[in-house]
A = this chain, B = another copy of it.
Amino acid sequence: MKGVFMALSGGIGGAKLVLGMAGILPAEQLAVVVNTGDDFEHLSLHVSPDIDTLLYTLAGISNPETGWGRANESWSFMSALGELGADTWFRLGDKDLAVNVYRTHRLRSGRTLTEVTADLADRLGLSLAVVPMSDDPVRTHLDTDSGLLEFQEYFVRRQCEPAVSGIHFKGSECARPSPGFENLLHSRELAAVIICPSNPFLSIDPMLSIPGVRDSLVNCIAPVIAVSPLIRGRSMKGPTAKIMGELGIPVAASAVAKHYEGLIDGFVLDSSDTDSADSLADSGLKLAMTNTVMQTLDDRISLARNVLEFAHSLR
């Protein structure tokens, strides 16, 4: 396979597939564009949860139990912070904190998130391109039955419990795609765009909300495919299914495909999701059915291989 494959990813689900693709493609043929709608300022630190999940997963230092943070983490900072009576609802381990302090320092020194992310990837020994969706602040806010909540307030502090009735991407109207994202969107080398099995509403829509991105994806030279984050109406991790139910959307892979209607050329769904496949039969979408559960590294590489081959077949 030739050309550059661009993955669009949120946190853990996307990171798993990207790790699989990184096991197949040489680094120069894979670029991952990461959601920054979850970013926030906490304790005056710039926290980029999805970028860090990608970096840690690809560098092999992620915590496999939690899905966020670093392996073999320690919590002395957090516990000392708690002793001071400060906010501890957002957990930053001692090692994770090193990345966040470093990033914040570089940003305050005038670097862009693009530069700092590339620098961090490099320092963590990665050679593929990890690209924030934007260097401008885009912040996901949610209308809920507990009022308007910032993303981390909803996701971490409230554990996704409030029912969601609306989603906003604050700042997106003025945001520009990051230079790396922009280049990839218009690259003549682009082989395929792969929308990872991330939350369509919370991880992918923030990217699509940036002016020009959706059109550029529709008009790019490569096929765009999405991998369903739902398997038999359930999300492996995170609130995708819960939010779809609350928004009155059928909780099924087919509804994810419809959410991406007009944008994607192909859709990958789990072999078991025959009902969804049936209902998409007349959609004009190319479908690929495969095992989409990624429990082991072999699962990830196997899914990645199927996804890449499917994308390649649509060129």
Contact = CB atoms under 8 A, between A and B. Distances in A.
A142 B97 CA distance: 32
Contacts of A102: 43, 81, 84, 86
A76 B105 contact: no
A50 B85 CA distance: 22
Task: State how many copies of this chain the complex holds.
Answer: 2
Contact of A105 (B44, B73, B77, B79): B44
Given A85-B123, A123-B84, A76 B101 contact: no
Size band of the A side of the interface? Answer: 20 to 34
Contact of A97 (B44, B77, B83, B105): B77
Contacts of A109: 44
A123 to B, nearest CB: 5
Interface in A72-99: 73-74, 76-81, 83-86, 93-95, 97-99
A130 to B, nearest CB: 15
A45 B76 CA distance: 18
Contact of A98 (B73, B74, B77): B77
A104 interface: yes
A108 interface: yes
Interface of A: 43-45, 70, 73-74, 76-81, 83-86, 93-95, 97-99, 101-102, 104-105, 108-109, 120, 123-124
21 contacts: A43-B102, A43-B105, A44-B101, A45-B101, A74-B74, A74-B76, A74-B94, A76-B95, A77-B77, A77-B94, A77-B101, A80-B95, A80-B97, A81-B98, A81-B101, A83-B98, A84-B99, A84-B120, A84-B123, A84-B124, A94-B94
